[in-house]
Amino acid sequence: MALIIDGKALSRKVRARIGEEVKELNAVQERAPGLAVIQLGEDPASTIYVNSKIKACTEAGIESFGYILKSDTSEEELLTLIAELNSDPRVDGILCQLPLPDQINEEKIILAIDPDKDVDGFHPFNVGLLSMGKQEALVACTPLGCIEMLKEYKIPLRGKKAVVIGRSNIVGKPMAYLLLRENCTVTITHSHTPVAELPELCRQADILVVAIGKPGFITPEYTNPDQVIIDVGINRTREGKIIGDVDFESVAPIVHAITPVPGGVGPMTIAMLLKNTVTSYRRRVAD
């Protein structure tokens, strides 16, 4: 049986570490780190995410500013709020929960957030820094959580073959850049990669990151016994069960290590949001 990479336990550890760090900072600084969280409408999934982000902040000693706006909020109103938060000295990070309602252009919103407060790592300025391999980039929380798990479990990365399935701006691409920054040899596959070629490509990987949103897609023919698999998928079955992009039951017994769903990547994402917020705070108080 594979080593099960316990994202839940690790997230608890990382959050406790951040909590200690914040306590020390709060003892010498005039203010706590601050995160503004914006949500439009009351989509139940978004509400769960936003609430858990706010709760995690509170537990770590980070001040949170929640803005739950009506779903028919105009783009102009949202841009005005973001401009206020950009210049609010109590705010180190701004997170606008996606997806946004149709009347709002997401790209415009991402561009409006000050890159120094972009704790989601979605602004093209931060994406650019990451693509240049720069450490100072604020990096998207989900892929950052994946790398943190690999490092905490001391999985060797330098010179290793990594395959990332999925090329989204939020996960696949930043994941590939992070693995490249760690000196992996990286292949990205996507919806135009011939399906017939995919199992063999994946079998060659030392590290396989799957982020395609297809429940149970990865079966034993995609793996090898030395492989480490990071499953980013969060899919809900008809019975309401949460499962990943990997067929855990058939794959876990035959690979070296794997992240479970739930309890793998998901909990790490929130821990990385706290980490990015404290990073941004440190830069601001040091200015």
**Burial (CB count <10 Å: 0-12, 13-18, 19+), residue 62:** buried
Q: How far is the CB of 82 from ligand GUN (least distance, A)?
A: 12
Angle at 146 between CA 58 and CA 123, to 5 degrees: 70
Counting contacts by CB under 6 A, is residue 201 touching ligand GUN?
no
The catalytically annotated residue of 116, 118, 120, 206 is: 120
Whether 54 contacts 64, CB under 8 Å: yes
Tell me which DSSP letter residue 89 carries: T
Residue 243 vs 257, nearer CB to ligand GUN: 243
The catalytically annotated residue of 39, 53, 206, 245 is: 53
Q: How far is the CB of 156 from ligand GUN (least distance, A)?
A: 28
Whether 93 contacts 277, CB under 8 Å: yes
Applying CB under 6 A, the site for ligand GUN has a residue count of 7
Partners of residue 69 on adjacent β-strands: 40
The catalytically annotated residue of 6, 39, 92, 97 is: 97
Out of 98, 111, 201, 254, name the contact with ligand GUN by CB under 6 A.
98
* Residues 139-168, mask of contacts with ligand GUN (x by CB under 6 A): --xx--------------------------
Counting contacts by CB under 6 A, is residue 54 touching ligand GUN?
no
Residue 45 vs 83, nearer CB to ligand GUN: 45
Q: Report the sign of the C-alpha dihedral through residues 7, 8, 13, 19, in that order.
A: positive
Residue 56 vs 95, nearer CB to ligand GUN: 95
Whether 123 contacts 86, CB under 8 Å: no
Residue nearest to ligand GUN according to CB distances in the complex: 98
Residue 95 vs 112, nearer CB to ligand GUN: 95
Partners of residue 243 on adjacent β-strands: 235
Out of 97, 276, 279, 280, name the contact with ligand GUN by CB under 6 A.
97
Cα–Cα distance, 64 to 56 (Å, whole number): 10
The answer to whether residue 231 is catalytic is: no
Strands, sheet with 93-96, edge to edge from the N-terminal-most edge strand: 63-69, 34-40, 93-96
The answer to whether residue 161 is catalytic is: no
Counting contacts by CB under 6 A, is residue 274 touching ligand GUN?
no
Give the tokens for residue 207.
Answer: 């590290």
Counting contacts by CB under 6 A, is residue 231 touching ligand GUN?
no
Give the tokens for residue 183.
Answer: 């000196």
Counting contacts by CB under 6 A, is residue 111 touching ligand GUN?
no
Give the tokens for residue 222.
Answer: 């995609």
First to last CA, the chain: 50
Counting contacts by CB under 6 A, is residue 95 touching ligand GUN?
yes
The answer to whether residue 53 is catalytic is: yes
Angle at 23 between CA 30 and CA 153, to 5 degrees: 135
Using the contact rule CB under 6 A, the part of the chain among 73-81, 96-104, 182-190, 216-224 near ligand GUN is 96-104
Contacts with ligand GUN, residue ranges (CB under 6 A): 95-98, 120, 141-142
